[in-house]
Every structure is written in structure tokens, then in C-alpha cells.
Amino acid sequence: MELTNDIYQRIVTAKIFIDENFHDTIDLDDISGSAYLSRFHFHRLFTKVYKRTPHQYLTQKRIEKAKELLEKEGLSITDVCNTVGFESLGSFSTLFRRMNGYAPQYYRNLAYLKKTLQDQQPKQFIPHCFIESYKL
């Protein structure tokens, strides 16, 4: 089956819909509806174009935003979980660990440590070739 320009634009529109609404409770019907395609046809086409299912893309988008929020101070893990659209702290923690190798709290601690080290010893985070070429 050939992917026409119109269908491709619909798939991209649905991806943008996910990008803009990932923090809400959305499902395949909502996403495929934004592309004006049946859920089964949309699922097959989205997977063909982006090499992952709509659900995998949505989960990845949520986890990426969670990582950004965890690197900032002020939000609890539960607040981050709810902000990015997960309904269960347990499922959020499990998916976060599976995708990143660390639990959310451990990831937050690593980000804080890295930020502290960058503030204390900034030259350690500049590539050696850059330091040599600019004689820093």
C-alpha cells in the first residue's frame, strides 16, 4: 500500500496531536480521530511511518517530559507522574525504570549530582578537544 501525501499529512497531524495532548488522558480513538482515519488503519500507518506504535510514541513522549521535570526541583514524583498524564504512580515508575534503567527518584538524584558537579567543576564537562583548541 502506497502512502499518499494526504495520508502522510494526516499521520503527522496525529503525531502533533499526541505532542500537544500527551499530558491528557488520550487513547487510540482520540488520536486516530484527529487524523480522520479508522483506528486500525491509523495504527498500521503510524507504525509504518514512525517505526513504533502510537502507544509506544505516547509513552516515550511522557517519559521524556517526566525526565525534564525530574531534573527541576520543586515537583514530587507523584506530581510529575500526574503532570505527564500517567494515572498510576506504580505504572509510571515501572515504565520509567524500564525505559531509562533507573527509578524516577534515583534519576532525580543523579541529575542533581550532575548539576552540582557542573557548578563546582565546569571544565570537567567541556570536551577536551574544545579546551585544547581554545586554550581554556
Tell me the CATH number at 80: 1.10.10.60
Please state, rounded to an integer, the average pLDDT across all residues of the chain. 90
Number of structural domains (the chain) is: 1
Q: Give the confidence band of 46 by pLDDT, cuts at 50, 70, 90.
A: very high
Q: Does position 109 have pLDDT exceeding 90, yes or no? A: yes
Query: Are the C-beta atoms of 34 and 40 separated by less than 8 Å?
Result: no
Spatial separation of the C-alpha atoms in residues 36 and 53, rounded to whole Å: 17
Q: Residue 121's pLDDT is what?
A: 77
Spatial separation of the C-alpha atoms in residues 61 and 27, rounded to whole Å: 14
Q: Residue 94's pLDDT is what?
A: 95
Does residue 113 lie in a domain region?
Answer: yes
Does residue 48 lie in a domain region?
Answer: yes
Does residue 132 lie in a domain region?
Answer: no
Does residue 134 lie in a domain region?
Answer: no
- The residue range of the domain holding 93 is 5-120
Does residue 125 lie in a domain region?
Answer: no
Does residue 131 lie in a domain region?
Answer: no
Q: Give the confidence band of 1 by pLDDT, cuts at 50, 70, 90.
A: low
* Mean pLDDT to the nearest integer, 81-89: 93
Q: Give the confidence band of 133 by pLDDT, cuts at 50, 70, 90.
A: confident
